[in-house]
Structure 1
Amino acid sequence: MLKNLPPLAPFRPRLLNDLKGYNSEKLAKDMGAGATVGIVALPLAMAFAIASGLKPEAGLWTAIIAGFIISALGGTSVQIGGPAGAFIVIVYGIVERYGVANLLISTASAGVLLFLLGLFRLGTLVRYVPVSVVIGFTNGIAVLIGLSQVRDLLGLDIAKMPADFFSQISTIAQHIASFNLYAFGLGAVCVAGLFVWPRLWAVDSQFRRQLDKIETVSALRATSRLPAPVVALISLSLLAWALSLPVETIGSRFGGIPQGAPAFALPDFSWETVKMLVTPTLTIALLGAIESLLCARVADQLGDAPKHDPNQELMAQGIANTVVPFFGGMPATGTIARTVTNIRSGAVSPVAGMVHALTLAAVVLLAAPLAAHIPLAVLAGVLMFVAWNMGEWREFGRLKQFSNHYRIMMVSTFLVTIVFDLTVAVELGLVLAVVFFVRRQSGIFRADAISRNSQQITFRLYGSLFFGAVAKIDPIVAEVEASPTPVNVMLDATQLISLDTTGLDALEQLHKAVHKRGGHLGMVGLNEQPKSLMERSGFAAQLHTFK
């Protein structure tokens, strides 16, 4: 029996292939790209952790440890792993409901599940999630991320934000009187700067053209290589510190970031706890699989590297998420923004991702005390920008171009993600996708009468006769039962593509009706699949052969 099972996916990281023919030129490219992405990851990792209800070091060490493991063991050449914006809402809800300790257990359990998905070659199943569902929950998560940052962006005096949508709106409205103009100013300048900075240094920008006319601006031109989030983080933190602005910082809320590696600690595992955490575990695993493989597909389209191995990528994601909780980390997955930065910076192999993790570790170990001066309003501005870029807002304007089925799936997934949670939204989206698919397929099947006389009626079957289409056989049964004389029925099955057991049962009921009236049922032109099912069930032997 075991011999009939499909083989397990081989564990072979892409790094092993990419190291063949690796040379100093490729190393230089990977070093440069990795260092750039490591700097970009610094503000994002802290912002994602804080927005998730965790300490900033949880995001930093997740980016370091998980980022290194995912690059070293993954199935892509240039993907960067780490904490992602898509997890913010999920993690915050789990922390609020179950606590940080149970978040670690859920993350580790999700890691085991992700590894098994890859091991049993189920990575391709993620591609079966309809794009309308993916866009719906992605836009919903973006809205929730933006809403979660209103407190810090406005500098509101709120001790703790609730997890659900309507409670957050109510809490913000109740504390709007504590609005801090200085915090809002820093956050607004941060958002504006993130939009302006890359456009300022674009090759075709007017600023760049005027700058190229000046000869002694090499130092200024070099700053164009700095990522916008890093420029905003450093400049606005210095401004707030120099002017002693009355805004909340990482130091005032969290006491800073420890200057040292996190300690290894075992979460308090128990079978009862794992059973209680089934829903958050499935949510983390589902979102992690979707995000990582979507990111890998984006990397395939942008880069020249070989196509990703989805099963190996899931196994690497699983190992990373299993290990990270033992160091107090949060869920990790593939990150599109950092992956795109990695590709555009010239990365050619997973070595770049490993360098990104080492660069980030060096910055954390050497400059951790400086992070205490970072205003939370600036990190909120960074996340507002991330949320805006994360959402595919143009898809709402394009809805009129698509079918009602597409619109219903996308809008319902979007709304349910906001009002309830991601798991319910994806479940609803998949159920709607199945219902609409069945409806479309049942509409394709038809049974047309092509000849009729007093002794025989011939019908031609088109499409797939399955559980969603069997009602279309009922009119034939009704016609046979209404006939005052025996009638033979011939079914032309040359256009019948497939048949399921419910469809077979409908044909058997038709056979009984015909036989009861003293007639015969025959079929011609059977294709391979319907013929095989009918022979295995014994129904084929009951059919009459007309001369």
Structure 2
Amino acid sequence: MFSALRKSLASRATFSDIQANILAGLTVGVIALPLSMALAIASGVPPQHGLYTAIVAGIVIAISGGSKVNISGPTAAFVVVLLPIVQQFGIGGLLVSGLMAGIVLIMMGVGKLGKLIEIVPYPVIIGFTAGIGVVIGTFQIKDFLGLDIQTQNGDYLDKLILIVNSLPTINWQESLIGGLTISILLLWPRVRSKIPGHLVALFLGSMIAWLLSQFSQDFSVATIGSRFHYEINGITGNGIPAILPAFEWPWNLSGANGKPIGLSFELIKLLLPSAITIAILGSLESLLCSVVADGMTGKKHNSNDELIGQGIGNIIAPLFGGIPATAAIARTAANIKAGGSTPLASVVHGLFVLGAILALTPLLAYIPMASMAALLIVVAWNMSEAKQFIRTIKIAPRDDVIVLILCFSLTVLFDMTIAVAVGMGLAAMLFIRRSIKVTNTTRIEKNHGVHGDLPNSIAIYDINGSLFFGSAQKALEAISRVTPDLRVVILDMTEVNMLDMSAIVAMESIADTLEKQQVFLIISNLQERMALKLHRVGITDKPAEIHFSRTLADAIAVANKIL
């Protein structure tokens, strides 16, 4: 725990290092400010909750985590998970599930599950991230085109049909601002400026919308100020309240019915699947971000500490209005490129967002919703990894392509929980099938090149690979077929690297079958740890039935002696 902070303090940073991290933090803060608002809006909550997440989670995770350069906050990957929670349980249910996810993340870190990212197949990751990108992009069409849609309920296909049926209600004013914003977002990288493109796009989109509204009273677009309202201590306002994140128990906030959601065992049961999903997605996103950061910096993160840090951040953030957070790859990469090398950069990034809440909220209220939608469409496109998706379909084995398309389809049509669960299950089954194929048993020919001719009464079987529940029966079934003149069976297990209970039972069955047919069994060169397993179940060295030998040559010598 706190390994990144401890390493940074032990390195004795110079003044120039501190200066570089402060500048990097300010750079990332500029990037995180509009993104945090946009992602909160996409998740179904007011924009200030995204800002609170960047402040609290960004600072806490940086201090307590295992990566010195990760920047944490709200991310696009969470949107498809959080939106249904908000629709069903309200903001209170979302924050309670985020707190529960933090507890799960700490348990994962304490349980040393930091290598989780290594067991998730690449097609599963690309499948669900591409699916998330499609869902996020689709849901932004409403604000991007200014469609007359009051509510978007139901599953993805219902929402897509509603959007298509509402296309005749396109608002040209919203579409104009959305189109201008997305054009700037796409063209700005060609300028090769250090100023973040989305900051320029949102500024120009807001400025153009405001100027057009000044020249024409008929020109009007929805903005953060007109869309969101707040009430604090009897005082109402539009846009984002210019106040610091305040402590509040999440269960005191409103549920879907507008009343405090409360805290009960029944609520915990209902939210537990969502909390586990948030924890799993958060761990994958954070650890994947850490791996990318390691490649850029040449340093090594502590994966278990990173999970614990993410857990601590996700427990504390909901207490101050923050939604679930995880490490963000794009913001982390920007941090590294700007010179960030210690948690100080992330702390400064959080403080910058905090300062922006106090100083810039009147200006943030002018940002058009169409511009925010344009920003999210670009974010969705970038996270969809379209090039990698197509490349995987072209070059990957058929099994991996099936997993990819299935994860993608389930993410879009149902939800990410089902997609990851089914994708992992299918990937595991395909892995087992491949393992079964590479595990085999070969009978060595009578004319044995090394040990000379073997009599018909001796059969040597060379077993290769792992003997587990999927492969044991296939690999060992040939041994049970005994010819009348067979007296000794030798199992060469030099290349057997695993033996599970299913394989042990199969071995026990073979030993009993051979014993009944008065055929001696010799097990050769089995690793000591696996031989102990056989001894525990009663398959021991019995001169009248079973022998163990260290080498194949010894086994053949014992077989000749028996004959």
Q: Same fold (TM over 0.5)?
A: yes
- Structure-1 residue corresponding to 2:465: 463
Summarize the Cα distance change of 1:238–1:489 in structure 2 as closer, same or farther, 3 Å threshold. Answer: same
Supply the distance in 2 between the matched residues of 1:397 and 1:327 (Cα, whole angstroms): 41
Supply the distance in 1 between the matched residues of 2:477 and 2:116 (Cα, whole angstroms): 38
Deviation of 1:494 after TM superposition, in Å, equals 2.2
Summarize the Cα distance change of 1:99–1:328 in structure 2 as closer, same or farther, 3 Å threshold. Answer: same
- Structure-2 residue corresponding to 1:248: 222
Question: Tell me, which stretches of 5 or more residues in structure 2 are unaligned?
Answer: 214-218, 229-237, 252-261, 447-454, 548-557
TM-score normalized by the length of structure 2: 0.88
Q: Which segment is superposed worse, 282-291 or 500-509?
A: 500-509
Supply the distance in 1 between the matched residues of 2:462 and 2:72 (Cα, whole angstroms): 55
- Structure-2 residue corresponding to 1:336: 329
Counterpart secondary structure, 1:277: helix
Deviation of 1:454 after TM superposition, in Å, equals 4.4
Per-residue CA deviation, residues 267-298 of structure 1 (Å, 9 max, x unaligned), is 23222211121110111101111111111111
Summarize the Cα distance change of 1:406–1:140 in structure 2 as closer, same or farther, 3 Å threshold. Answer: same
- Structure-2 residue corresponding to 1:184: 175
Counterpart secondary structure, 1:490: strand
Q: Which segment is superposed worse, 371-380 or 16-25?
A: 16-25
Alignment of 1:57-456 (within 5 A): 57-162=48-153, 164-201=155-192, 224-244=193-213, 245-254=219-228, 255-266=238-249, 267=251, 268-304=262-298, 306-398=299-391, 399-451=393-445, 453-456=455-458
Contact 1:139–1:414 (Cα < 8 Å) also in 2: yes
Contact 2:439–2:475 (Cα < 8 Å) also in 1: no
Contact 2:145–2:175 (Cα < 8 Å) also in 1: yes
Contact 1:488–1:514 (Cα < 8 Å) also in 2: no
Per-residue CA deviation, residues 59-79 of structure 1 (Å, 9 max, x unaligned), is 111111111111222211111
Per-residue CA deviation, residues 183-220 of structure 1 (Å, 9 max, x unaligned), is 1121122112112112122xxxxxxxxxxxxxxxxxxx
Per-residue CA deviation, residues 233-257 of structure 1 (Å, 9 max, x unaligned), is 1111011011113211111111211
**AA matched with 2:199:** V
Contact 2:2–2:63 (Cα < 8 Å) also in 1: no
Supply the distance in 2 between the matched residues of 1:496 and 1:478 (Cα, whole angstroms): 19
Supply the distance in 2 between the matched residues of 1:61 and 1:471 (Cα, whole angstroms): 57
Contact 1:476–1:510 (Cα < 8 Å) also in 2: no
Per-residue CA deviation, residues 154-182 of structure 1 (Å, 9 max, x unaligned), is 10121222252111112112322220112
Summarize the Cα distance change of 1:319–1:521 in structure 2 as closer, same or farther, 3 Å threshold. Answer: same
Supply the distance in 2 between the matched residues of 1:406 and 1:289 (Cα, whole angstroms): 23
Q: Which segment is superposed worse, 154-163 or 407-416?
A: 154-163
Contact 1:92–1:163 (Cα < 8 Å) also in 2: no
Contact 2:310–2:326 (Cα < 8 Å) also in 1: yes
**AA matched with 2:460:** T
Supply the distance in 1 between the matched residues of 2:389 and 2:39 (Cα, whole angstroms): 26
Supply the distance in 1 between the matched residues of 2:197 and 2:387 (Cα, whole angstroms): 24
Contact 2:116–2:284 (Cα < 8 Å) also in 1: no
Per-residue CA deviation, residues 21-40 of structure 1 (Å, 9 max, x unaligned), is 12321121111111111111
Supply the distance in 2 between the matched residues of 1:264 and 1:523 (Cα, whole angstroms): 67
- Structure-1 residue corresponding to 2:232: none
Summarize the Cα distance change of 1:225–1:522 in structure 2 as closer, same or farther, 3 Å threshold. Answer: closer
Summarize the Cα distance change of 1:25–1:183 in structure 2 as closer, same or farther, 3 Å threshold. Answer: same
Give the share of equivalent positions with the same residue, in percent. 39
**AA matched with 2:190:** R
Contact 1:96–1:163 (Cα < 8 Å) also in 2: no
Deviation of 1:474 after TM superposition, in Å, equals 5.7
**AA matched with 2:516:** K
Counterpart secondary structure, 1:373: coil
**AA matched with 1:510:** I
Per-residue CA deviation, residues 326-366 of structure 1 (Å, 9 max, x unaligned), is 22221100011111111111112110110011111111111
- Structure-2 residue corresponding to 1:15: 5
- Structure-1 residue corresponding to 2:235: none
TM-score normalized by the length of structure 1: 0.90
Supply the distance in 1 between the matched residues of 2:480 and 2:283 (Cα, whole angstroms): 50
Summarize the Cα distance change of 1:163–1:226 in structure 2 as closer, same or farther, 3 Å threshold. Answer: farther
Supply the distance in 2 between the matched residues of 1:132 and 1:91 (Cα, whole angstroms): 23
Counterpart secondary structure, 1:248: coil
**AA matched with 2:102:** G
Deviation of 1:451 after TM superposition, in Å, equals 4.1
- Structure-2 residue corresponding to 1:520: 520
**AA matched with 1:471:** Q
Supply the distance in 2 between the matched residues of 1:465 and 1:134 (Cα, whole angstroms): 29
Counterpart secondary structure, 2:150: coil
Supply the distance in 2 between the matched residues of 1:30 and 1:300 (Cα, whole angstroms): 17
Counterpart secondary structure, 2:244: coil
Contact 1:146–1:383 (Cα < 8 Å) also in 2: yes
Counterpart secondary structure, 2:151: coil
Summarize the Cα distance change of 1:449–1:13 in structure 2 as closer, same or farther, 3 Å threshold. Answer: closer
